[in-house]
Chain A
Amino acid sequence: MFPTQFDYHRPGSVQEAISLLQANPDAKILAGGHSLLPAMKLRLASPAALVDLGGIDGLRSISTNGGVTIGAMTTYAQLRDSNELASRLPIVSETANNVGDPQVQNKGTLGGALAHADPAADFTAVMLALGASVKAVGPNGERTIAADDLFVDLLTTALAADEVLTEVSVPAGQGKVGMAYEKFRHPASGYAVVGVAVVVPVDGQGNAASPRIAVTGATSKATRATAAEQGLNGKPLTDQNIAAAAAAAANGLDLNGDHFASAEFRGHLIEVFTKRALERAAAQVK
């Protein structure tokens, strides 16, 4: 299998990439290529041109300054192997270690995952739970988009066609924060049939303080499980409270069903994996 023909551009700067996107309205941005190239080989996508961000310096970086800022072209392997992330944001390194396989981790990028917005991606949910935001640079300058506003629908984000997602920022947590991502991994593809990311700050009394719970794989886009969040907020992380929050996690979500997992089964998985993730997060803040 090979893609249809296209023109290939490898800009040396973000500004040059934006100019190329403006000049080529049917162009697609190429990051790690592990979603786009398979889609092109299957002729599900036939862009007239590719704008490869691989030649732009400075988009592959992890920096800490209060919060954590990650360059869009940072690969899963870099996230997986970062000691800084392992201590500050273990949910990120853990998740990176469970995306696809080592070869996918070597090519796939965080920015690519968020901009592609695959409904079964892992990092969409993780970044929602972390309250992350992305920087988008376009012809009219740059803007910040909260992860909450980034995912619009199936494979659709708030990014404009001539905007480049350049970095992802995670705000600094305050006090003790438990965090975990649990997924039911599709046995063939490795994608999340259902994945649940939880980030649970606790106050001095050990009560959950504005916990964030996000679900992927189950709906057309990664989404917050607000019913579960509200149910847990202000409460201690007891087994009973965790079970109640998990039981509410699928409330209000429009669940997908397919040949692998029915909507009903996905609803069940959301409960199970929310519970597992919350239990793991609770153990971290005991």
Chain B
Amino acid sequence: MTMTEAVAAPARVPVQMTVNGTDYAAEVEPRLLLVHFLRDNLGLTGTHVGCDTSQCGACVVYLNGESVKSCTVLAVQANGGEVTTIEGLAKDGEYDPVQQGFWEMHGLQCGYCTPGMIMSAHALLKRIPNPTEEQIRHGLEGNLCRCTGYQNIVKAVQYAAGQMNGGGTHDPANTADWERELAGKSDS
């Protein structure tokens, strides 16, 4: 790929990484953050910059299979690595179950936090396939949503867990109150 013109600066360093299955190579300033490499160099603007201080999680992507806040990773640290962004989750035109969950349960209002929220939820479900509500809230601690109060986000993750664990049902012990209400069943 081609880079924008160089400014007088310390030596640029070569980086190459695979992003959403495509190989990229570039020469970058060491101080370039991964999130800016993704957004500005590769044009993958689905990953957002929110707080820019590693608090809000709008910039979460996978780096070598682990969810990271890409505003707090240098592009050079990702050299040789494999990155998946929100643009890389859908497969063959089908949304990932976590994306479906946010759609079905309306797990968003303004949508700003959503890409990071979905990436973190995806990583959580990889580690804990059938999380309790408490585990979902703990697992999304690094993602801030200022609109929803998290209720529908939790529902979205529960929906996704159900989809991933065999088509719509999941462990009844982890079934949320709202699901029981919908099903007209009593807990006691």
The 8 Å CB contact of A107, one of B30, B72, B79, is B72
Known: A2-B33, A7-B30. A34 touches B142 (CB 8 A): no
Does any Cβ of A come within 8 Å of B155's Cβ?
no
With A101-B57, A188-B55: A2-B31 Cβ-Cβ less than 8 Å: yes
Q: A100: CB under 8 A from chain B? A: yes
Residues of A within 8 A of B36 (CB): 2
- Binary contact readout A134-150 vs B (1 if CB under 8 angstroms, 0 otherwise): 00000000000000000
CA distance A189 to B76 in the complex (A): 26
Least distance between A4 CB and chain B CB atoms (Å): 7
**In the complex the two chains form, what is the Cα distance from A38 to B53 in whole Å?**
6
Is residue A283 contacting chain B, with contact meaning CB distance below 8 A? no
Instruction: Decide yes or no whether B48 CB sits under 8 A from chain A.
Output: no
- Chain B proximity of A36: nearest CB distance (Å): 9
Known: A6-B30, A103-B67, A103-B142. A33 touches B73 (CB 8 A): yes
| Best-surrounded residue of A8, A103, A106 (most CB of chain B within 10 A) | A103
A102 within 8 A of B: yes
Expressed in whole angstroms, the minimum distance between the Cβ of B170 and any Cβ of chain A is 21
Contact mask for chain B residues 44-83; partner A; CB cutoff 8 A; 1 contact, 0 none: 0000000011110100100000111100111011010000
A1 interface residue per 8 A CB criterion: yes
B80-139 interface with A by 8 A CB criterion: 120, 123-124, 127, 139
Q: How far is the CA of A196 from the CA of B10 in the complex (A)?
A: 45
Minimum C-beta distance from A184 to chain B (A): 16
Mark interface residues in A27-54 (1 if CB within 8 Å of B CB, else 0). 0001001100110111000000010101
* B157 CB to nearest A CB, Å: 13
Distance in angstroms from B36 CB to nearest chain A CB is 7
A52 x B57 contact (CB < 8 A)? no
How distant is B112 from chain A, measured CB to nearest CB, in Å?
Answer: 17
Query: How far, in whole Å, are A38 and B13 apart by their CA atoms in the complex?
Result: 21
**Cβ-based interface call for A10 (8 A):** yes
Given contacts A54-B77, A103-B57, A37 and B72 within 8 Å (CB-CB):
yes
B141 at the interface (CB under 8 A from A): yes
State whether A77 touches B66 (Cβ < 8 A). Answer: yes
A99 → chain B closest CB, angstroms: 11
How far, in whole Å, are A98 and B76 apart by their CA atoms in the complex? 28
Interface string of A84-102 (1 = CB under 8 A from B): 0000000000000000111
B183 at the interface (CB under 8 A from A): no
| A231 contacts B by Cβ under 8 Å | no
Of all chain B residues, the one with the shortest Cβ separation from A107 is B68
Enumerate A1-15 residues with CB–CB distance to B below 8 Å. 1-8, 10
Residues of B at the A interface (CB closer than 8 Å) are 9-11, 13, 29-33, 36, 52-55, 57, 60, 66-69, 72-74, 76-77, 79, 120, 123-124, 127, 139, 141-143
- Given contacts A30-B77, A104-B54, A189-B55, 9 further A-B pairs with CB under 8 A are A5-B9, A6-B10, A7-B11, A8-B74, A33-B73, A81-B127, A103-B54, A106-B66, A107-B72
A-B contact pairs, 25 of them (CB 8 A): A1-B52, A2-B31, A2-B32, A2-B36, A5-B9, A6-B10, A6-B31, A8-B74, A8-B76, A30-B77, A33-B77, A34-B54, A37-B54, A52-B77, A100-B142, A102-B120, A102-B123, A102-B139, A103-B57, A103-B60, A103-B69, A106-B67, A107-B72, A188-B55, A189-B55
A-B complex: 10 closest residue pairs judged by Cβ atoms: A101-B142, A8-B30, A106-B66, A101-B141, A3-B31, A103-B69, A103-B142, A37-B72, A5-B10, A1-B52
Q: State the A residues within 8 Å of B (CB).
A: 1-8, 10, 30, 33-34, 37-38, 40-42, 50, 52, 54, 77, 81, 100-104, 106-107, 188-190
